[in-house]
Structure 1
Amino acid sequence: MHEDHAVKEAYAKQLLERYSDWLSRVESVDPQEIEAVAVEIDEVFSADVGQLHKELLGKISALRDKVSEMMWMSEHMKILHDLSHIFAKTFEEDKILWKAFELVSRVMRTDAFFIAFFDEGDSEIRIPISIDDGVNYGPLVIPYGQALISRVIETKQTIHIRTMKGEPSEPEMIRWGSPEIDTNTCIFVPLMLGNQIKGVISAQSYLEFAYKKEHEELLKMIGFQVASAIETARLYDRMYQMSFQDELTGLANYRAFHRDLEQLLGEEDSAVALIMLDSDSLKSVNDLYGHHAGDELIRRIAQAMRTVADKKENAYRYAGDEFMLLCPQASMKEAEEKVRAIRDFLRLHPLLQDNCCIPIGVSVGIARFPDDSNTADGLKRAADEALYRSKRRGKNCTTVYATG
């Protein structure tokens, strides 16, 4: 009898030590280990004592779940904070998408992961990032109307597949990526901005039953941040591109001119002819017919330059009625032929205003890199000097800088 009491006392001491150890690392305690102890207790203690231990085990298990949830939520909130911080500093779509994948991977299995985009009315779904077993198989394009992605877009509802057993095959399921192993748990969450759907974000695992409801909520919040960041990045890109475009004519502007000229002159064995062109009659047209006619004159010159420029040449409205044409690798003779083509176009397309035919005359200066200057500023000054000489010679003529 004493021996039995000693065994129980020793076992009780072991249990206390085990409970103490569990409490010191409660978030990592294995639930199966708790269940195993509960079974042992029934074999060692009386029903009353065993019940007390089981109640304690239940509290440890509940504490484990609560601490795990709190730690998961803490990491969850840190991810959202990190995403906001990162997205505020970058307007590059690739970086936004990859960082979303990295941060999602911190709190849930992402053996496979993708983000898809869709614009209403499109016939295709674009998938710029698609990770499978660490490899990016994107960008991909799939037809709209097929696969679970299309269903999520149509319904704006999350799809959570906990196991692939019994799930539909093609065409409902479209697979790509690693051919060695397939995913068994998949979450497909709509990317929403207000009531507008922008695409789908998906996390997938090789394991069955890998995700909980909390993972769906996390993807929804991350998906919203991704969609917002991508919209902001695209708006920034549009605004950035607009900053290089002239609003009246649609030609590139002076910012684009300086950017492109520096780039061209930096190329190996570069040679560039610069044609600088200025209207001879803008002021008189504005005075006689109004500024709307002057705007039409500017647009007509822009149309002439756009028509004459080939694929490797770029036309610019530099300022007011001053225009530039960059002709890479063009000789002076070729540049002069280009100017004659511009004059021919303007001669065939005069302005018609108040039953009057208004001819459009232009003065032109041409300079060439590196013959006339070996710097961007020097080349522009040379072309400007040639243009000034054309104005002094009576306008509506062309001056080549080297010959004056």
Structure 2
Amino acid sequence: MTADADSAIQHGPRQQAPGLSASLTFLFSVTCALAVANVYFAQPLLDSMAQSLGVAPSMIGVVVTATQAGYALGLLFIVPLGDLLNRRRLILTQVVLSAGALAAVGASQQWLALLGAMTVVGLLAVVVQVLVAFAAALATPSQRGQAVGTVTSGIVLGILLARFTAGLIADIASWRAVYFASSALMLTLAMVLWRMVPAATEPRHRASYPALIRSLFTLFITEPTLRARGLLALLIFAAFSILWTAMVLPLSAPPLSLSHTAIGLFGLAGVAGALAARGAGRWADRGLGQRVTGIALGLLTLSWLPILFAETSLVALVGGVILLDFAVQAVHVTNQHIIFAARPDAHSRLVGAYMCFYSIGSALGAAAATLVYARWGWMAVSLLGALISASALVVWSLRRGDRQLHARRKDVRAAR
């Protein structure tokens, strides 16, 4: 790691030792959990939103798509600023503006107003990726995988708590109350961050903002590792989004007719994802990233078999959710560890570029899930998720075969 990345962050006159402290890692994890929840509140609330605004069930998935579209824009135009601006100010600004966007969602009375506000919510929620890149930059090389894994576990827990909390509040009050409560929470979080996050050393990148954004697109072209791991991210998060977007529809419909709270409880089955995030980071630090990826993609494909029986067996659905969340988060953390190692000087731009694939996959998965369910039902949704997951496994296998062939040819040339 460079001297700038290793240099201590200051809080008053004191200097922090090189690396990322446990307390700062925990704070980053909590912040990520609270911020990412804003993206996922809508998933268990889609049915209520559709009824409240008079939107057709086949169209309500566009709410998730709009949020992910905003997230994609934020990844392209906000996250790279972490390599240019003071990260502390950038984080605080995003959190405060998020509070206003969430209040606008809760107050929306028209379909287009809701979509616009949700797009802004997604745009600002990329603060979690600024924090992931910040953690990777502060961590020493030997702790980077574990640090990224721990912060990512906070993101996973935030997603799980979002679904459960949103369902619970909606049953007690309404879906609008979920967003008003989150708005107040983000303002409170901003005050805590202002007091607790030390002033970071300035990033080394000194180019103009247009040059910074151009360099982001250059990374897509010049970094084959980013492209390969980004494609895996697109596929696994398309599968992830297909499950969590469409699952609420059969569970809330007869004969199951589960409440928002009951549907939200299914998210707790995904706590395995948080465990996978931490474990995958440690395994990646030991050089096992490729092996973890292959095993996790196999589990992701198999997870759709029990998920197929969601309408007749809730136990099978829980088992499938555990497998799917575990696999997705293991691949996700391993992906980030590998791409961060490729370019230590561009963590914010790398995570922004990589997460664009995530956002595109999530948006496409959400739109496809509700459309496929409306036309062909849950079996078709499950088959679509399994096909996408199997495609990710094939992509990884082909990529691994190419690397092995290249290594053998290199050995032959060296022997000659």
Normalising by the smaller structure, the TM-score range is under 0.3
Rg comparison, structure with higher value: 1
Higher relative contact order (Cα pairs below 8 Å, separated by 6+ residues)? 2
In proportion to residue count, which structure has more helix?
A: 2
